Amino acid sequence: DAKTTQPTSMDCAEGRAANLPCNHSTISGNEYVYWYRQIHSQGPQYIIHGLKNNETNEMASLIITEDRKSSTLILPHATLRDTAVYYCAFTGGGNKLTFGTGTQLKVEL
Amino acid sequence: DAGVIQSPRHEVTEMGQEVTLRCKPISGHNSLFWYRQTMMRGLELLIYFNNNVPIDDSGMPEDRFSAKMPNASFSTLKIQPSEPRDSAVYFCASSFGQNYGYTFGSGTRLTVV
């Protein structure tokens, strides 16, 4: 299974794009990259996932480097409600999802 | 769809007592996962099932922990006997497969005193 590295915390001004990085240099070819967020102690909330191609949905964009060793989650216009812990995670080993340590994103006025 | 349903939301128990956590996955999902979250260790996968069969229980910390999935709509995680270090938030999640997303429940906050 891939191991992940995420910054412990990041700040972002409201209305600006938040770019959250994740390094996963040991990822294998069949492991999907997932991003979740967690607000307080609520259950993790799905944001987006991908395998090789960049992905976009109504919440965010996911940019995966060509070598797949890193990815970036982009929240295009961050709001105060986006303050949360953001986790990148990986599938593999038959379907299990393994989480990184997470980045605490703080969106400020 | 009501999502993944966990019960109870909160559980406070005395050391040595048996604790049973319950999970109802989303109908049609064929994979179910139990996670534990603590400040020190983050989100840890304890065990997961495919089609009601346990596939990987390597994350189960000790023999005091056991999990069952008697049918596609119900799973339990049992701790017997419970210890204070088992205090954590326990999450259940379900999925169609690795390319279809994983949906988490609201969790059970367990406190063992």
Q: Nearest chain B Cα to A101, which residue?
A: B42
What's residue A41's pLDDT?
A: 79
Residues A3-35 pLDDT 10s = 889 999 999 999 999 999 999 888 888 889 999
Q: Would you give the end-to-end CA distance of chain B in angstroms?
A: 36
What's residue A93's pLDDT?
A: 65
In DSSP notation, A6-35 reads --SEEEEETTS-EEEEEE-TT--TTPPEEE
Is B5's Cβ below 8 Å from some Cβ in A? Answer: no
What's residue B98's pLDDT?
A: 75
Residue B103: list chain A partners with CB under 8 A: 46
Disruptive mutation site among B50, B98, B111 for chain A (greatest number of A CBs within 10 Å): B98
What's residue A81's pLDDT?
A: 95
Residues B79-92 pLDDT 10s = 999 999 999 999 99
What's residue A92's pLDDT?
A: 72
- Average pLDDT rounded to a whole number, residues B58-81: 96
What's residue A7's pLDDT?
A: 96
- Average pLDDT rounded to a whole number, residues A34-54: 93
Report the b/e string of B73-106 with b at 16+ CB within 10 A: bebebebeebeeebbbbbbbbbbeebeebbbbbb
Residues A65-88 pLDDT 10s = 999 999 999 999 999 999 999 999
Residues B55, A94: C-beta atoms closer than 8 Å: yes
Residue A32: list chain B partners with CB under 8 A: 98-99
- Average pLDDT rounded to a whole number, residues B11-19: 97
Angstrom CA distances, B33 to A4, A90, B29, B51, stand at: 20, 14, 11, 12
Residue B43: list chain A partners with CB under 8 A: 44, 87, 99
> pLDDT averaged over chain A?
92
Q: Nearest chain B Cα to A47, which residue?
A: B101
* Region class of B28: left (phi > 0), else alpha (psi between -120 and 50), else beta: left
| Six token digits for residue B20 | 């049973």
CA distance A34 to chain B (A): 8
What's residue B1's pLDDT?
A: 66
Q: Nearest chain B Cα to A37, which residue?
A: B104
Residues B93, A97: C-beta atoms closer than 8 Å: yes
Shortest CB distance from B104 goes to which of A43, A93, A95?
A: A43
Q: For B65, phi and psi rounded to 5 degrees?
A: -100, 135
